[in-house]
Structure 1
Amino acid sequence: MVATRAGRVKAWCSTAGWGLARWQRCLAALLTAVLFWPQSSVDADIGVDPSWEAAVALARIHHLAWGPEIVFTYGPLAFLQNTGYYSTQQAVLATFYQVGVIAALFLGVAAALRRRYPATTSLVGAFVTTGTTAILLGPMYPEVVVLAAFAWASLLLLQNDLKRSTAFITSVALAAVGGFELLVKFNTGPVIAFIALAASILRDWRAVGRHCATVTAFGASIPIWWLLAGQRLGNLPVWLRYSGQIVSGYIHAQAVPIPLDAAGAALLTVAWLVVVCAMLVRGGRVIPRNYAMLVAVTSVLIAKSAFGRYDTNHFSALLGLMVIAVAITPLYGILRPRFEIAVVVILVVFLIGTLVIEQRPLAVLQAPVRSVDRLATVAFPGRAAAHIRQSKARQRGHYGIPERFVKTIGSAAVHVDPDETSVVWAYDFAWRPAPVFQTYSAYTPTLDKLNSETLAAGPQFVLSRQSPTSPAVGINGRLGVQENPLYSRTLLCDFTVDGVENHWELLARSQPHCGPLALLSEVVVREGNPVAVPAPSGPHTAVLVGIDLDRTIVDRLFMGSLVPLTTYTVALDGVSYRLTAGNAAEPFLVNTPDSVTATNLEIHSHTIGVGRSRSLGQHNPTARLRFYEMRISR
């Protein structure tokens, strides 16, 4: 009976005309978006990621200039990917963007499937593929746009009879989307533009006009969307330069050594590359080799990000690409049956594992209800305002900033350190941040200097969330005072502690009260052996150290450039911390005076050494340590 019903369904899908009309496809796309709309609660949350989401929304609310006043790996349109409500306008615009992203993925997959299947069957396949991908990636909308771009670009290579005008419009449109997405999430824009250009070249390398138009569309769309986002055109080069610094620094500073439990992911990736190679070698007329090249290029681009900072979220983007490619590619017969079965089994296991680990099934059940609530905000904006009021009250109850601090700050400009930017939104503070507002992202000397100089001439107060450990430790076990050496010195030298209460510190601007750095000594450390930190000469002095690393070729390749397998560490009194290598040469605090006791600046080290988190067969690193002393006036 089951077989009979399945046969009837199959026959209906093959003969039904649903999906031939454009309005039918658009309606199906909208329904798919509503059913599988990946989103967390519309009530703004707290934590590291929700705080930067709050920051990109606050940048629009406070009319900050991207580049000079705020810098991140996202841009002035980043608020569109927020699922939480931070303002009524943001909630409405984000609703249109997010529905559009899922619908675009559905339509791209449906168009690719329509090449081989009847209209209704292609819509069913697109429904399943889009739903699986949306559930996998969750609210990672920029990455979903990359996958949608791949689906649309594949049409240029899977259809030999495609009109030249259609190929031209598709390439140019995808490149323009890349320019838009650059202002949402910096690193996804170039990837989309590269996919568009690669598809154009692979279709016909002699179509130079189309290639040039693709590149021009990408370049032209960036300033257009920049101006539409309310930004000054003159700030665009500044933002591009500083955001490029964050992305380049991210490769080394944020890359997490691939853990042992990533062996399965690596196995699946290798198996997928074998499948792609089989497409190239055995695909022939069934699978065009230029399409197989596009799959290979896209796989490499996404795999680099997936393993650069490995976790299930980052790897899910590569899984999503596999799902889409398998759906739109006629793979049967190009591999041996046993290998095909093995690849499918491994892929299914990872899909299920990712869904379980990230608790995505619960999100699937909640998606339709949340989608209706989101869509209701378009018709009734007051609903968003009510959510915002409730979220702010809930966050204030959680943060519990002392009332004295709130009154002291008043309407004065404040910067929040190191990353709890949500408090600005919850308490309606006047926000004037250090440009790299989540200070752990100031990976390079240029960014550290930018934050330091802005802070020196910027806000009246710095509100800091007290670290539960001393010395303060940031994300990935990084030493707080080391990841931003100049910024930390500015906090010490241009601010005084106004109070420490209920896990919060309030620093108030004062006259600069630090002298110049005076060199104490230099010493070379080898084989991981620690050396003594010079004692301060008086109660009102700080001791600092700069580390000149002797980097080997293995270090350069396997600390993020090629594959992240290890990282530098700095050991203080026998406790290891991750070393932000890009800022290691700038002297950082290792001994501070009593004036910053019980704050995130407090540190009292007696020994220091340099090592690696994991040995790759080489000796412990060699480094030259430069110790300095800095006098601090009372």
Structure 2
Amino acid sequence: MTNIEQHTAVNFRTYRNLFTTAIRLLLVITIACLFIPFYPKMPAAGLDNSWMFGMNEAIAQHMAFGRDVIFTFGPYASVYTKEYHPATGSLMLLGSVFLALAYTIGTLFLINKERWCLGLVYSLFLASLVYSRDSLLFSFTLIVAASAYKAMMLKETGSEKSKSINLALIILLFSLGLPALIKGSMLILCGAISILCFLLFVMKKEKALAVMSLALPASSMIFFWLVSGQSISDMPAYIANMGPIASGYTDAMSYVGKVSEIWNYLLASAVLCAGLFANRRQFKPENMFLWCIFSVFLFLAFKGGFVRHDGHASMAAISLITAALIYLSVTSNKLNLAVAGLCILASFYIINNYVKTNTAFLKHNIVQTYTKAYEGISNSLEDSHWLDKKFSAAVNNIKESANLPILQGTTDIYSYSQSDLIASGNQWNPRPILQSYSVYTESLAIKNRDHLLGANAPDNIIFSVEPLDHRFPALEDGTSWPALLSNYHPTMLRADNRLFLAKNPTPTNDANPTTIQSAIHHLGEEISVPDMASPVFVELDIKPNLFGHLANILFKSAQLKIKVTLTGGQSQEYRLISGFTKSGFIISPLVENTSDFGMLFGDSSFYEHKRVKSFSIVQVKGKTTFWQNEFSVKFKSLDLPPPIDLKKLYTFDPVTDAQSDPQKAPDSYCLGVIDLVNGVPPTKAMATSSLLRVDGWLATSTAEGPRPATPVIVLWNKNGQVKLIYTRVSMRPDVGAALKNPDLDKAGYVANADVSGLDGEYSLSLGFKEADQVKICQPSQSIVTIGKRTTHADK
């Protein structure tokens, strides 16, 4: 070889080494930017933001996870949320830096210098697409397992020093305990990976590593648990309570999406798993290990992405890309690129249904990954207190928007919106499962109820009915409703759908309803509800059959639906969650909103129109039955305190005498309708004893086009007496959109009147006031019988 050729070869190796070093450095920087919160989020209002703020505040108030707080997330939740709190900032940084270090070691161990191209692709993938924190945590566990596999291969060939391999494995196995303290459901995946690594090391006769694969994750959990300020005595409860949370999630949170996304994911996953076998002609234990870790990873990502099949599907898709890239790092076959390419195409198909993953989108994400980190570092160098200042400003914004008063004593808020309460400056005293939609099972529901009946019950409750996914409204924390009705009284109902409750001076420690009927019924059967003046409580023990149990383990079973029929004949349908029903809920009256719940504290005549006559339960769809046909039904009565005067709580619209007989307006002059009377569409004959609520919209024709009117509800009886109920404005953007006139967004109206002073049959009409004259827009379509209800089965 000539000197020129030697010089060229040396330069080529030098440039290649520099290039591969740069790629590896890029990978390290990218991982640091993703894991370490250089520019953390700040608290905000809303459902998800509320539990994020709540997890941080729980640490700040030294609450015990597993006892005081039982939720999907653990004491290191901030590593997942990247949300700043002065009390958890150092904890978030510790967990994030440690995970970033372990992730970097594992990634560099898998993607060696010879595979610099894969390192570049993985860096760009992380920077552009891994905005899902679930995907990042999931991918970490697969990297640990794949590193264990590669370590055994390197030891066989002797191409690397055993000491360096063992050191890398010790760090990776030790870090496997932290994800379970970030998100409790990671216990399943981390535990499975730990056990599979143990079996691999046993088969390869690596006794020390086999012991460490079980001991190090457990030691890590204990270490990080103690560092977070938690007591070791609470750790078993934290682990045990993840059982009902994980088992109840599938039924409670399932959501139906596009079936084609599921088939794309399953097909790509099957091809990848088949590709693992194609890489080895002869069977070896480590080959089965490799197949197992990918199968477990892909299966749990499938469950995480498609049980609640909405934007969560992107998490499964991103995990599939991760699996494909790690697959390339541990296998060598001509078909590998084709297998990985298929997985990536399937993933982009899924992701594109939620976000448009074009070049501009990917470029934006890449730029943001690095610039946000740079901006955060720069801010910290310029002002060491900038995070505390942003935190204070964010909390103050929440406080001003929610505008909650300072209440004496401790306070909890239902069903979520913890951010509003914490930011207000009130002393937060949460129930164990702090957001009501997460009370998936009977045991969790009872924990929340017992908190209200215990010595540490909050002095105040800020209450809202806010069901998720069109669930039956009384389901979420429904087991606690008897305790709320017995031990608290309402003090204020605000226009923002919040009912303020204060603890009674002498609260009862027992709010258990009394059984009045018990029987076995069947799916699809019409079940009569006892005719009682007081609210009726029901417990339903609906169980999946064997096929349903298998469906829940492998994916999800069919949803249940409840159809309730009111005494007036109207019907409503809602989603039913079996895990919520066993501990019980109020079936009658039908409580659909916060205002309805407040009525339960008053005289029963105010919710007369919402009494449920009967209900039936069916599987939503599908030829295959996932549920046992028979189920038990227990009806119970509630022993409630004397009713309060609702006039002190509700602002009822006045009922006045008409000064003159209303006149009929020309038909062409009016646009509008009565949509609902006492929550249901108007019929020819209706009845009420105390409350009359009328909703709808009205506009009048003018030379400039339709304009919002001043609606009034007109009642007159056969004696010629005319009563008027003046309405309030209710926003109706649907009307403005339909008639292409933004002014008509204010055409909605609502009247909420106490008509207990009236008696007899009244014609109900819609009218409007013009000057001092009331004009009828709509002839009487309904006769409302107003009078006291006098017959009950319990009287």
Aligned to 1:470: none
Within the candidate set 139, 144, 147, 1:152 is matched to 147
Aligned to 1:506: 500
**CA apart distance, 1:387:** 0.9
- How big is each residue's C-alpha offset from its partner over 1:292-333, in whole Å with a ceiling of 9 and x where there is no partner? 443233323333333333332432453243343244244652
- How big is each residue's C-alpha offset from its partner over 1:259-278, in whole Å with a ceiling of 9 and x where there is no partner? 3x132332232232223223
Aligned to 1:18: 18
- The structure that is helix-richer by fraction is 1
- Give me the whole-angstrom Cα distance separating, in 1, the residues matched to 2:553 and 2:34: 40
- Give me the whole-angstrom Cα distance separating, in 1, the residues matched to 2:169 and 2:59: 31
Structural mapping, 1:216-231, within 5 Å: 216-231=215-230
Alignment check: 8 A CA contact 2:529 2:612 kept: yes
Aligned to 2:705: none
Structural mapping, 1:579-590, within 5 Å: 579-590=576-587
What TM-score does the superposition give when structure 1 sets the normalisation length? 0.83
Query: Residues 153 and 356 (structure 1 numbering): CA distance in 2 closer, same or farther, change over 3 Å?
Result: farther
- Give me the whole-angstrom Cα distance separating, in 2, the residues matched to 1:462 and 1:419: 15
Aligned to 1:488: 481
Q: Does 1:142 align with 2:134?
A: no
SS, match of residue 481 in structure 1: coil
Aligned to 2:387: 384
Q: Does 1:564 align with 2:568?
A: no
Aligned to 2:654: none
Alignment check: 8 A CA contact 1:183 1:226 kept: yes
Structural mapping, 1:287-306, within 5 Å: 289=287, 290-306=289-305
**CA apart distance, 1:350:** 3.9
Alignment check: 8 A CA contact 2:548 2:626 kept: no
Give the alignment's Cα RMSD to 1 decimal: 3.7
Aligned to 2:464: 466
Higher alpha-carbon Rg: 2
Structural mapping, 1:46-445, within 5 Å: 46-87=45-86, 89-91=87-89, 93-95=91-93, 97-98=95-96, 101-102=99-100, 104-114=102-112, 116-117=114-115, 121=117, 123-132=119-128, 134-135=130-131, 137=132, 141-150=136-145, 152-159=147-154, 160=156, 161=158, 162-202=160-200, 205=203, 206-256=205-255, 258-259=256-257, 261-284=258-281, 289=287, 290-310=289-309, 311-330=312-331, 332-334=333-335, 342-343=342-343, 345-350=345-350, 353=353, 355-356=355-356, 362-376=364-378, 378-379=380-381, 380-401=383-404, 406-407=405-406, 409-410=407-408, 412-445=409-442
Q: Which amino acid aligns with 1:183?
A: L
- How big is each residue's C-alpha offset from its partner over 1:203-254, in whole Å with a ceiling of 9 and x where there is no partner? 5513333212221112222222211111122122222222332222223322
- Give me the whole-angstrom Cα distance separating, in 1, the residues matched to 2:102 and 2:215: 23
- Give me the whole-angstrom Cα distance separating, in 1, the residues matched to 2:512 and 2:300: 46
- Give me the whole-angstrom Cα distance separating, in 1, the residues matched to 2:35 and 2:232: 37
Within the candidate set 515, 518, 521, 2:517 is matched to 521
- Give me the whole-angstrom Cα distance separating, in 2, the residues matched to 1:381 and 1:343: 44
Alignment check: 8 A CA contact 1:494 1:509 kept: yes
Q: Which amino acid aligns with 2:487?
A: D
What TM-score does the superposition give when structure 2 sets the normalisation length? 0.68
- Give me the whole-angstrom Cα distance separating, in 1, the residues matched to 2:93 and 2:51: 19
**CA apart distance, 1:342:** 5.0
Query: Residues 316 and 349 (structure 1 numbering): CA distance in 2 closer, same or farther, change over 3 Å?
Result: closer
Aligned to 1:4: none
5+ long unaligned stretches in structure 2: 1-7, 566-570, 601-609, 643-795
SS, match of residue 58 in structure 1: helix
Query: Residues 67 and 557 (structure 1 numbering): CA distance in 2 closer, same or farther, change over 3 Å?
Result: same
**CA apart distance, 1:83:** 2.5
- Give me the whole-angstrom Cα distance separating, in 2, the residues matched to 1:528 and 1:13: 75
Query: Residues 542 and 39 (structure 1 numbering): CA distance in 2 closer, same or farther, change over 3 Å?
Result: farther
- How big is each residue's C-alpha offset from its partner over 1:157-195, in whole Å with a ceiling of 9 and x where there is no partner? 553435544554444433322222221111224423432
Q: Which amino acid aligns with 1:146?
A: T
- How big is each residue's C-alpha offset from its partner over 1:44-81, in whole Å with a ceiling of 9 and x where there is no partner? 22221111111110011111122221111211121232
Q: Which amino acid aligns with 1:491?
A: L
Aligned to 1:5: none
**CA apart distance, 1:106:** 4.6
Aligned to 1:616: 623
SS, match of residue 182 in structure 1: helix
Alignment check: 8 A CA contact 1:526 1:622 kept: yes
Alignment check: 8 A CA contact 1:102 1:144 kept: no
Alignment check: 8 A CA contact 2:464 2:498 kept: yes
Q: Which amino acid aligns with 1:155?
A: K
Between the aligned residues of both structures, percent identity stands at: 15
SS, match of residue 553 in structure 2: coil
5+ long unaligned stretches in structure 1: 1-7, 468-472
Alignment check: 8 A CA contact 1:545 1:627 kept: yes
Stretch deviating more after TM superposition (52-61 or 171-180): 171-180
Q: Which amino acid aligns with 2:560?
A: Y
Query: Residues 163 and 336 (structure 1 numbering): CA distance in 2 closer, same or farther, change over 3 Å?
Result: closer
Structural mapping, 1:545-560, within 5 Å: 545-549=538-542, 551-558=544-551, 560=552
